[in-house]
Structure 1
Amino acid sequence: MAADVAVGAFRALRTLLLVHGHWSYTRMAQLVLYNFYRNAVFVFVLFLYTPFAGYSTMSCIDQWNLVMYSLAFTSVPTVVVGFTEQDAPREALLSSPSLYAAGIQRRLYSHALFGLSIADAAWQAVAVFWVTTGALSDGGSAGMHDAPTGLSMGELGAAQLAALVIV
């Protein structure tokens, strides 16, 4: 009885391994890098705020928004890519073995790509932090460790969160 099912399953093995395996690897590589990026850029922005908070554990972003950032605000790209990403058509994957070289040669996910995405997150966090802080402050003379003048912590946090979601 089980052998009858197994024989039928072997018919789909080629498509399962070559097509769906390739799509799955491509999606996973993209999503792992994206999730590390989005969390790193978020943490870097919070880290940049610590001198303004007197090196305390105070966050400029409301606690509810801290939770909702990963849960709701930035989860849409993960879901969309997870369901729809197909970098090559089924027929091309079955007929062209050279398309599998990207995975074998680690062009989709590697330590270098991971480092590059973290460096990108750090750069974008610096840009988000200073652009929002500069745009919302009233131009007073705030030092490096002084809070920006004319700006509440909630306003700064809301602006930074909005910029993070857009970026």
Structure 2
Amino acid sequence: EPLHAFGMWLLRMSACIRALESEVPTLLLRYEDLTSDPETAIRKACDFLEIEFRENLLHPDQNEYWRTQSFHKTWGQSPTSGKISTKSVGQYKKRLTAEQISLFWHTRLTPLGLAMFNGSYDNPAEVMSALGYGEENKSESSVPFKLDVSTRDTAQALAEGWLAINHHGMEQA
């Protein structure tokens, strides 16, 4: 369900921004930066973690641990299973339909959603801007989208249920 995925992305990215805005030391390392200039990105991570940069960090496929541990091979999580590359940047444009892209840019968190998850950003454009993406990454589509009645009704029922549970819990206290 794209709407659910977009909403979850919005919530997660809003949480990342809250972390960046907090007093807790947090590093923003964008995938695009890692793929376009791996050495600079890895050096930035090492500086943040206060560890020494080593050249072999740029070549995880040469690391004995990653080559030999079957757990990583089984689940396809080994760096040797595929290199990070710029090829995957922007893949959403090929994998999502124009209507899905339009739905993404029009996704909004409700006030209830913002309150439930202590969110501060309710739409993708604000999130992308806060994460340092410029207008060139914004690809609003003019394709109209429609939420079908069942999706809208389900969202409404969930919100009402959450409010009822929360209200009932407050009465108990």
Report if TM-score (shorter chain) is over 0.5.
Answer: no
Q: Which has the larger radius of gyration?
A: 1
Normalized against structure 1, the TM-score is what?
Answer: 0.23
Higher helix share: 1
| TM-score normalised by length of structure 2 | 0.23
Higher relative contact order (CA 8 A, sep 6+): 1
